[in-house]
Each structure stands twice: as structure tokens, then as C-alpha cells.
Structure 1
């Protein structure tokens, strides 16, 4: 048996729908009561929704008169099978039927702790200290007092833009501050969890919002470089039409990671890497705001703050995470400042598919080219420590051997190839010794770019009109067939080894390039560095 939600009568469970369809008249389970309690001719009240208006009005007046003496005397529905009903268990149901709660009788307002406080406490220190206004953003002149971006934001003329900067420089913070300052609708998405379908849904909502209220929509896309260039196409139409304003954040070079068509429709703002002074300012503000929540400790002093700032390397988020860890560790008994420093670890920032990958290998190559073994070893160790593929480094050394050393020491190419073979056979960690051997040898070796520059000169000639298709001299052509020999292919060619010292009078370039020289006489260039004489560095071994 179940209770009908309309007439509160007992009805067989399988007949409840038929009972409601009949106006609560059929399939009613009559209660077992004596005739004296209720005459058999008396029927239960008909629900008001099935009564004519006049009857409903009369019944309403009668109910109000009957209930007015004491609303607290209203009884709850009879429980079924000995179980307590929902009305008995739920305090909300008592409020609906007029029963006062204890705090209401005492005249005390009911206090409810906001959920946002719990989330705020659970968030890491870096999130709790995220700036809420542009004045709190540290180290970025773009949003400073006279910053270009700040002026656009304050005028509510936010353009579509790409915020490019390393981790912890304030890209997401600036976007969220924009959301709080302008009157536009703000939507935040992340390319790692959002797809094209979700973006199209947001664009449709933005069109409706613009048409109904005239309010534009700002879409902040974090890690926009993680969208493939085909996925980035979805932004082109809405951004170009002005239906949405796109703010994309990326740690990668947008020239390579953002589609050119989309990049041309956005302004690119480069966020500067934070200095140690900027990081110190951020950490000191965090101590003022959040310090009272932690037990005071003499270990977290100015000296440790400066250490954390240097250790964070321009990343505000990392510095705040380290500060939070340091404050937690300082609570432990008998812990020293040196113990805290040893416990603070930071993963080296190195993305094998990002800018750090290309920047570091470029610095490594140029250090060898500049004959600086110390710098070359630094970048080599940095790549190995960060997990770079040692074979990738060995392949670059093969390039260096021919591009920068070349004719000055032909043995370096053999060394580079041998190094690649050794790395392939041995592997890390021992292979790093082979890489260091080749790196130092190449950095100390004489340099010659004659072959490399000569190749570039030849490629430059091919860009001239008609040069790439000049006919090969007929005496140099291959003649594998009788027909080709009859056409004169290879005729009058002089086989050099048959002549004294291999010297013959013979032309090899096409006729229009006769006398053209691609290979220069100098191993290196002839320019003089104006800073060379003013530098304190010892260049006595440099020859010009």
C-alpha cells in the first residue's frame, strides 16, 4: 500500500495511477474503523482540484476556520508499514506546516557558513593570493598606471588578444581581472577539457546575448596552443564578426602555435618574466595577508624570502607554493632553515616540445660556435638534467661539426658521428661523458664556415629568375643509352684522372653562370666587433 499524494488515502501500489485518473474515487483501501467512528454513508472529501469553484471556496473557508485555533495541532500523514514518513524526518517540512524552530523562538537568526569560505580555505596559497584588481598585478607594465592594455580595459574596449608569457607571469589573473572590470559576459574555457562542440554552443549563446541585451561576450581560453590549428578555425568567424572577444593565454610562441588567420585578428601582448624583486613583493604581501593563519616562525624571514624568490625563477605561482610549504614545515619541532631549503624542490621548467626545448638547444649550438666551452657544458647539463633525448643532442653535434667547424678540422665530423654511435650503444648516464667530450672538443676547435656559406650562396643563386632551370652542359650529361650518345651527351668530356694532376681545361657551370663564385676564400667573416676592444674579456687568441 502507498499513500496517494493528493488525497492521502491508502491505495494499492499497482493501482495508484488508476486511482489518480479516477479523481481519487476508485481503488481506495478503506480503513478498518468502527461504524461509530464514521458513518458508512459518509465519504471522504473530494480533492479540491476535482470540485467546482463554489465548493472549493466553501471548503477553503471551512478549513481556515477549523485550523485557526492552533496550527501546531496539524498532524502529519500516517506512516506506512511502521516507517517514519519524510515529513517526520525533514526539518523543512515542519517549517512548511508552521512549526517554529528553536532558533526562531529564541529570536536568533539562523547562520549558515558560506560554502565559498570552505573552498577558499581548501585552495592553495597561490590561488588565495590571486590579484583581484589591476593594481595588485605585479611586474607587468602592460597593466601598470600608463599601460596600453590597462587603458583599453578601463575604457571597456577590450580587443581580442593573445597573452604570451612563461608560467606564473599573470596571464590567467589578468583575464579574470578583465572579467570583473568590464560589463561584458565572461566565459572561461580550457583547451585541455573543452572541444569544438562546446565552443560552438558558447558562440550561439553569445549571439543570443548580444541580440537580446546588446552585451558582448569575452571568452578566455587558457592554454590555447593545445588546440590544434584546425580546431582554432572555430574561433575565426565569431572573432572576426565581433560577436565574441577572445583572450587566449599561451606559454608557447604564438607565431608557431596559433593559426596565422586567428593571430592576425588578435593583438599579441607579451608578459615579462617577473624579477626577483617582483617575487619578493608578492611573497611579502602573502605573509601580510595569510601570515596570521599560520603559527609565527622566525625561520620564515627576509633571507628565506629572498632565497625563495631566486629559486622560483620568475614564476609567481611556484614562489607562493614554496612559501606555503615553508610555512607548513616551519611548524615542525627542531627543524632548521637549512632543512627547509633542502625540502624545497622545484621541477626544472623544460618542455621537450616547447620553446624551452628550442631555446636551450639553440644556446648550446651557439656557445660551441662562439668557442665558449663553459656555456656549452652548462646548456648540455641543463638539457640532460631536464630529460632531453641524448640522441637529439648528438645529432645536433653532427650538424655543428660541418656547419661551424667544417674545413678547419675535418676530424670533428668523425668525432660527432662516433659520439652519436656511442650514445646509442651506451645510453645514459654514462653517455653524458661522450657528449661532454665532443662538446668541449668542438668548442675549442678552430672554426670554418666556408662550406656552409658556399652552400647558402648557391641556394641564393637559385632564387634568381631562370637560374634553377639552366640546361646542364652537354658534355657533363649522363649517356646510358645509344640514343643519348648519338645526341652528343657526354661527348668531349675529359676524364680528369687521366690527366696530369687531374687538371684539364673544362667548364662545369652552365653557360650563364660562367665565372660565378660561390665558395669564398675566408674561413670566417671579415667583420670586426666594435665591442671587442672595450670588453674586459681576454681575446688575445682571436685572429682576424
Structure 2
């Protein structure tokens, strides 16, 4: 009869009796007589063969061996080991219980995954690659909570390769190198591939991302990177060229409703849902999630906790009022930052004050007041109203001296004024022409300054003709006098008010709008 080592008391126990042994708190901590005779037989055979062993082996065998037949473990030690094991299992349960709802119900199969139908739907290319276990190196790009990490873990469940998960927030380049070497050794010894999932890959700078290149290029690893930022700006171009980029869209409200319904079916498998979580409440939570499945599940978990508290029960209406928006999808260093300021600028340029106020509020709610004020100073120079620039500078000063939230109305005042002011880019276009001439025309940057325009602070410079022939404008009627100011090589050039420029347009073109 075979024996196994008890994980609690570490004694040998017949395999058929291990469950009963554990149930009895390890009190029957002795091996059977049959096992003892078998052990004695083994010991006799061992002595017979000792003669043929080297001296070092004889010394090792001469060490005392624990007599399992006669040695017993004191009861208090058995109980202590048992309690220690129970605590260990309880701690594992506690870790599992502490997981937030999004982690507890994370899908492990494609039929549990909602959203991204173009990629993982019945005809989706990514579904085909996952099911055939042929996933190439890829970058999953999409907003927070759209299912990037979940999709990578579904790949882990469906691949025959070894799967290793890393995160740029907690792992460094040395961790990556170790994982790559392990993957290389595994491939050489067993022929088994390794898939490495690098979450938040954009947190590595481009120099750090270079560590992936040789291993991806040689096929030692299959890389799956996840990022919320535009890979064109945040991921090494050489790495992008070796990976397929898949864009994951923000989840629709209907997608999030399906996710919430699945969570409730797991949470209440054999019982009715709380009355406060009806279809209207689920719809409300899904809309508040704003395309982020993780936020939707977190709001649901908040609702479940509130409704299940026997000491402080709240009504569905109170729950609905409690689930106010506390998050704004805006990152001052990410794509959303540049997309939002671009939309704000174009709304002001298009004289749409309503849209300008919306984008202004969106940025201010995320705490970006000073940046907005600086941008409005620049925008003011696209207005034909010369009062726009002083107003924008004053608004910037107000933000720095007064601060938020009092400066909100000042910025709103400035944004509306800029949007409603007549527009002109004549100065902007003229400056770009002058700049282009300097950069692209060989003689423009080195053209000699006309002698009469040069300053002559010394006698030597005056003797050389500096400032000679200059006409001082205040000496003439209305300060106007005919005089050449451009270098000789550029005297025929026109930078401002070139034919075709739109000088001032104070009325919207209704035909263009239609």
C-alpha cells in the first residue's frame, strides 16, 4: 500500500486513509503495520547494499533515520500545525474575498466577453486567431475598462504556450529580461512558446521598450501589449512594425448592461436580486459608467453593498442619487488631453460658444485651468477683435492670482468672448509666409539689413554709413513717409494681405453650413 506525507503533521499515512487522518486532526499519526514491515524490508536491503557504496554515501546513510513506527507527534504540536494550516487556507479565502467585483467575475472565455464585436465576434479576426492558437505579437489600444486585460487573459486560457503577465507599473526592465531568458530556455528545452502580456506598456519609455525588440523579432516571445495611449506616440516605432495594433472601442451602454446582468447572475445564482436593482437602475448605472466596464461593475458593487446593509437600508431613489459621477475620462498627459483642447480650439474658431463652454467645463472639472488659460491667450490672436488678446491675458492672470473654482466664470467669460468675436488669421498666415521664406529661400536668412535701418551708436559705425539716410517718421505728417524697410533681395515680397486671404468674416455663411 502506498503512503503519502500528511501536509499538517508531516508523517507518512496510507493514501487511502489520508482524508480520515486529516478529519481526525492528525490524531492517528502512525503508519500501518504493513507499511512498517515494508519499511523494515527496505532497511534490510539497504544494509546489504551498503558494502558496495562509497565512504561518503555510507556516512550519509549512517545518520539516524526517524523511526516512523515509534515516533509520535505530541498532540499540542498536531493541533498547532492544524490551526496553522487552517489559518493559511483562511488567508487564501480572505484574499479571494477581498477582490473587487470586476476581478471576481472577469471572463475566461470569449462567449463571456461583451463588446468589440468587430474583433471577437463570429467573424472577428481576433477570435479566429485566439481559437486557432495563432496569436501574433500585438498591441491592444483602447480606453480604460474596454476589455484589454480580459482579452489578454482569455488568450492565456486558450493557448498551449506558457503565459506570463507583467505590468509596466510594477515591473522593470530587469524583470522583463529574466522573463525573456526563461522563455528562451523553455523554447530550447521543450519547444514550448511563451506569450508575455505587458500591461500599461506605454509606461515604459521608448528606450526601455527596446528590450522587447530582439526577442519579438526572433520569435522567442509573443508580445501582447496593452495601452490606453496612442501607440503612434507612446510605443517604439520599431516595436509597432513587429506587432499588429488592434483598437478596442469604448463599450456601449448595451454592452455594459450585459456585463452587469452577468455579474448579478453570478452574485445571485439561486436567489432573487434586490428590489432596488431593477432594469431602470441597471440602465442608470450603465449610462453613468460612460463606456467603462470596470466603473460599471464598481458602481454595481457599491449599490449591492448599500442595499444589503441591514442597519441602514436605502431606497432605490436614494441609491440613484448616491451614484453621482465622481470620475472624468481625462488625462492631462494622454490622448484625451490633446483631443479635448483641440475640440475646444476648433469650437471657438467656429464661433460655437455652446460647444466651447462644454469642452471648457470638461477640462476644468479635471483640474486643468492654467493650461486652458494659456491656450486662450494663443487663440485670441486668431480673432480680428484686438480686445480679445488683452482679455485673454487678463483671464490668465486671474487664474494665477485667484485660482479655482472662482476663476471658472472668468475663463467662461473669455471663452464666450473669443467664440463670438470676428475671426481673422491674416497675421498668422503672414507670419508663416515670412517664416517659410527664411527656412526655404537660400538668400532670405542672410540678406543684408539696409544701411539706413542699422543703428549707429559709435562714430566708426556712422563713418561706415550706418543709419545714413534714415527718415524719422515723427518728423513727417501723420508719421508717414516713403521709405524701404525690407532688404533689397525681398523688396517685392508681400507677406501680409496676400490676394486670396480672408481678412475679416463677421457673418456665418449659411450656404456653407447647409
TM-score, L = length of structure 2: 0.77
C-alpha separation between the residues in 2 aligned to 1:158 and 1:419?
Answer: 53
Aligned ranges 1:96-495 → 2 under 5 Å = 120-140=96-116, 141-292=118-269, 296-332=273-309, 335-345=314-324, 346-388=326-368, 390-402=369-381, 404-405=382-383, 408-475=384-451, 476-480=453-457, 484-485=461-462, 487-495=464-472
Per the alignment, do residues 55 and 168 of structure 1 end up closer, same or farther by CA in structure 2, a change over 3 Å counting? closer
Deviates more, 1:176-185 or 1:354-363: 354-363
Per the alignment, do residues 331 and 293 of structure 1 end up closer, same or farther by CA in structure 2, a change over 3 Å counting? farther
Does the Cα contact within 8 Å between 1:470 and 1:510 map onto a contact in 2?
A: no
Deviates more, 1:279-288 or 1:149-158: 149-158
C-alpha separation between the residues in 2 aligned to 1:54 and 1:208?
Answer: 39
Does the Cα contact within 8 Å between 2:455 and 2:467 map onto a contact in 1?
A: yes
Residue of structure 1 in register with 2:64 after alignment: none
Residue of structure 1 in register with 2:492 after alignment: 515
Alpha-carbon shift at residue 314 of structure 1 (Å): 0.2
Deviates more, 1:477-486 or 1:134-143: 477-486
Per the alignment, do residues 221 and 73 of structure 1 end up closer, same or farther by CA in structure 2, a change over 3 Å counting? closer
1:60-118 residue CA offsets vs partner (Å, 9 max, x unmatched): xxxxxxxxxxxx994336x9xxx8785797689xxxxxxxxxxxxxxxxxxx9999877
Does the Cα contact within 8 Å between 1:239 and 1:245 map onto a contact in 2?
A: yes
C-alpha separation between the residues in 1 aligned to 2:68 and 2:393?
Answer: 97
1:75 equivalenced with 2:70 (yes/no):
yes
Does the Cα contact within 8 Å between 2:257 and 2:286 map onto a contact in 1?
A: yes
1:221-257 residue CA offsets vs partner (Å, 9 max, x unmatched): 1111111222222112222222212111111122222
SS of residue paired to 2:269: helix
TM-score, L = length of structure 1: 0.73
* Alignment size in residue pairs: 445
C-alpha separation between the residues in 1 aligned to 2:504 and 2:113?
Answer: 48
Per the alignment, do residues 414 and 127 of structure 1 end up closer, same or farther by CA in structure 2, a change over 3 Å counting? same
Structure 1: runs of 5 or more not aligned? 1-47, 58-71, 93-111, 535-544
Alpha-carbon shift at residue 122 of structure 1 (Å): 4.0
Structure 2: runs of 5 or more not aligned? 1-42, 53-66
Per the alignment, do residues 257 and 89 of structure 1 end up closer, same or farther by CA in structure 2, a change over 3 Å counting? closer
Per the alignment, do residues 166 and 55 of structure 1 end up closer, same or farther by CA in structure 2, a change over 3 Å counting? closer
Residue of structure 2 in register with 1:96 after alignment: none
Alpha-carbon shift at residue 485 of structure 1 (Å): 4.6
